[in-house]
Amino acid sequence: MMPLHFKRLGLAGALLMVLAACASSNPAGSIDAVSQLTQAQTGMPLRLVSDAEGQAARQAAVRELLAKPVDAAAAVKLAMLNNRSVQISLAGLGVAQAELAQAGRIENPTFSFARVRSGDEVEYERAFKIDLLGVLFIPWRQGMASQQLDRAKLQAASDITRLALDTRKAWVNAVATRQSEQYLADVNEAAEASAMLAKRMLEAGNFSRLAYTREQAYYADASAQLARARQASVVAREALTRLLGLSGQEAAALVLPERLPDLPVAPKPFAGSVQAAVSLRHDLQMARFELDALARSLGLSRATRLVNALEVSYLRSDSNEGHRARGYELELQIPLFDWGDAKVARAEAIYLGAVNKAADIGIRAESELRSSYHGYRTHYDLARHYRDQVVPLRKAIAEENVLRYNGMLIGVFELLADAREQVGSVNAYLAALKAFWEADADLEMAITAGSPPAAGSMELAASPTPAAAGH
Amino acid sequence: MTNRRDFLHGAAAGLLGAATVSRVGAASLPEAAIQTSPTMQPPLQPTSGRPYNPVVTLNGWTLPWRMKNGWKEFHLVAEPVVREIAPGMKANLWGYNGQSPGPTIECVEGDKVRIFVTNKLPEHTTVHWHGILLPNGMDGVGGLNQPQIKPGKTFVYEFEMTKSGTFMYHPHADEMTQMAMGMMGFLVVHPKNPAFMRVDRDYVFLINAYDIDPGSYTPRVNTMTDFNLWTWNSRAFPGIDTLVARTNERVRIRIGNLTMTNHPIHLHGVDFEVTCTDGGWVPKSARWPEVTTDVAVGQMRAIEFVANRPGDWAFHCHKSHHTMNAMGHDVPNMIGVDHRGIVEKIQKLVPDYMVMGERGMADMGEMEMPLPDNTLPMMTGMGQFGPIEMGGMFTTFKVRDNQKTGDYKDPGPYQYPKGTVAYEWTGELAEPTRAPAPAADEKTVTVIKPNGHSGH
């Protein structure tokens, strides 16, 4: 504490004004920054709801989105508006922002007045105290708080992107399970027709009890499968409802489209994914940013120049089998240079730790991108294979079988068994399409928010269900 | 093949329908004529050798020959062929000289014949002369009597026809496959005396059967019993030629069976007698009248009669499933099964579905439903009174007062004299008294109650 006399106050006050001017406690700027980071995945600006007016606006937006069948983009918007974790992330930004503002402020000056009486003499002492050392540290404190805010922004962006992509996957799952349920309902209906006809055949004396019972058993199985599919459909819808933060009437009002979106005409190229990841992926950004900040704080100005590069090159080769091999290099240049002076040994140790952490993140990101892209591409090819090969083949078989039925070469029960198999192939296509859209979200996660869930556990589309047992 | 056929089509115009053409340049070999038209060719009147009354082959033809130093020389070429089974269906078969069955070989009792056999099949073959009495080395059993004729090779069979009668030829090398592919032909030895057993019209055909999966073209050769195409000279109704006769002509029909089952051949409108088998002529005292004669596997029968009743008479195998084309043997019987409330459900999954067989199968004969490629309807054909509802081994024998002698053309539908066709009774119809039908009881039909799966 350094008491100052009044006459010096003018100068000190001017200094304080300068120091404290830059930091505001309003997080709007930070929220805008996070909005921009997440815009591609969320499709909308983010808003911290802090008053009744904001709340009303949010409710209106939710109502508007729920008025139509909710597609994937609308589902993500709903989650952004409604899911509380978005508000928690944004509120966290407010905290970091406030801390930054606080860091720019000098502790309140103290004014003291003392009256000391010594015999007849009365002495008045007036003092104005200010934490001058604190003032001197303001730039450093602000630097720390600013870093903290930047970290918070990236963390919020990562969390929000993850939520957006999780929502998209939940939406895909909800639509697909519903669609699958409808296909199984068709299978069930075919089984029901067979069972009804078998019953009439038995009644007319044209079917044995064995033949009749086989059809009934198949119908019973199909009904059980349908019940399971309905359960899966409800579970998937509820999982989505939770992510959308819907309750009560809003949850009931949620209408999903009948079908998953079609497969894109062409798959995304791998190079694009890598390029995007280098500039977008939040953990890479954070690592780069921290390394940069560390270098600056340690006075390693040369280092920042060198660490700057997370370079990407895209490798592509065509083999004679028509298979296109794709690869790339994601290169994190790690600056190791002669530190020269033993005085900076501590700084070196800290810096090296950070460099290795960044390198680790780089390696992980690289592998995750490869793995996610492979999943994306495999599911794209599989879905296309089902759509362009398996389903048309089944359809052609079904058409041929109708011709055979016309010619009394096969009976109606064979025709129905085949129709069930055809539905099964459509269902398998649906499963492949669902896997593709999930892989698409995972790839986007690997490009932006960070590690996608359990890379490598690829579910391949199952064989047509249910098997035509006994036919 | 294609080039040769194209050439043939061009040449046929100038050959008055007898689409025969030389294709062997070698001077030492007699020409191997081919025939691609599936319609019946007029009888080949002999221009050399001993005189005889030629036969007519249903949907077929007779192989030309040449005389050389007292030998009657024929040239058979075993080769893959495409045979129209009936309009709308073709089959990839093996045969001789462009067709399955091969051309009919006709010769005369006492002829010395030399038959060249060129193998253009992908595998070896032989020819066995079924029923002919000949030297053992000419009998054509591969391995047993001769080495097989390898692809591209030509063998020569030489023997004397010691007796007249009704015979056939077929391979005796990979026999099952080659016969399932259609390799066979008719062989007639006419009596030395043309007046012996003389008839006005002498028809010949072989009975054969194929198993061709609907939608495909090539027979499945390993089928043992479940054939789906029952044919005469590799033709099925409505592709089989009509047999014709002028009223009161004496007609002979010679039939050989190279399928794997027997065929009770039935001709409407006449009594006939079997006058010849592959063993020879049947003495008059041993013949008995029939309207159906069973032609067992590997047998030949010649029936004779006087065609004395004008009209369009059915002529068919009496195994009723042999007068059908391909059908599903496992198709459940839908007769009497109520389809109400089910059709809509099925149509939801199979939009083109329609109920068939609920009342019986006659609808099939009238409906023209889209069928698999290259597939004949199970029952088909239209007559002047409606659908004929036949397939397979069915044709008509048409007797007309004004059919010209030697004219084999189909005279068209029979013009019935007034009052000679069955007619509908339009008068009063009293409900006839009927015996009560036995009631269904627990044992005949058990009704199962719905068991509630629809709740799911």
Note the pTM of the prediction, 2 decimals: 0.78
The pLDDT assigned to A270 comes to 87
In b/e form, how buried is each residue of B135-174, taking b as 16+ CB within 10 angstroms? eeebbbebeeebebbeeeebbebebbbebbbbbbbbbbbb
Higher-confidence residue of A281 and B320: namely B320
User: Which range, of A133-147, A397-411, B328-342, B394-408, averages the lowest pLDDT?
Assistant: A133-147
Tell which of A200, A408, A413, A414 to mutate to test the B interface (max B CBs under 10 Å): A408
Q: Which of A96-110, A227-241, B214-228 has the lowest mean pLDDT?
A: A96-110
Average pLDDT over residues B28-47: 91
Tokens of B199: 């008839």
Rounded Cα distance between B450 and B341, Å, is 15
DSSP conformation letters of B77-113: EEEEEEEEEETTEEEEEEEETTBSS-PBEEEETT-EE
Task: Provide the b/e sequence for A208-223 (b: ≥16 CB within 10 Å).
Answer: eeeebebbbebbebbb
Asked if B453 contacts A199 with a C-beta cutoff of 8 angstroms, the reply is no
What pLDDT does residue A134 have? 66
The pLDDT tens digits of the residues spanning A265-314 come to 999 988 888 878 877 888 888 888 887 777 776 665 444 333 333 333 33
Report the C-alpha gap between B393 and B229 in whole angstroms: 9
Closest CA of chain A from B29, distance in Å: 48
Q: Do A408 and B372 touch (CB under 8 A)?
A: no
Average pLDDT, chain B: 89
The separation between the first and the last C-alpha atoms of chain A, rounded to the nearest angstrom, is 94
Whole-complex ipTM: 0.81
A207 touches chain B (CB under 8 A): yes
> Which bin fits B136, alpha (ψ -120 to 50), beta or left (φ > 0)?
alpha
Average pLDDT over residues A183-212: 92
Answer whether A68's CB lies under 8 Å from A112's CB.
Answer: no
Report the distance separating Cα A458 and Cα A303, nearest Å.
41
Residues 223-242 of A with CB under 8 A from B: 223-224, 226-227
Interchain pair B364, A408: CB under 8 A: yes
Dump pLDDT digits (tens) for A2-50.
444 444 445 555 445 444 445 677 888 889 989 988 888 888 889 888 8
| Alpha-carbon gap, residue A204 to A186, rounded angstroms | 27
Quote the percentage of chain A above a pLDDT of 70.
Answer: 78
Q: Say whether residue A71 is in contact with chain B using an 8 A CB cutoff.
A: no
Handedness of CA A7, A11, A14, A16 (dihedral sign): negative
Of B331, B342, B348, the CB nearest to A411: B331
Q: Residue A322's pLDDT is what?
A: 41
**Does the CB of A221 have a partner CB in chain B at under 8 Å?**
no
Please name the residue of chain B whose CA is at the shortest distance from the CA of residue A419.
Answer: B349
DSSP B62: B
Contacts for B48 with CB less than 8 Å, ≥ 6 apart: B65, B66, B67
> Given an 8 Å threshold on Cβ–Cβ distance, is B214 in contact with A407?
yes
8 Å CB contact of A410 and B331? yes
List the structure tokens of A225: 């499968």
Interface contact flag, B456 A201, Cβ < 8 Å: no
Nearest to B43 by CA among B29, B63, B28: B63
Interface contact B330-A407, CB threshold 8 A: no
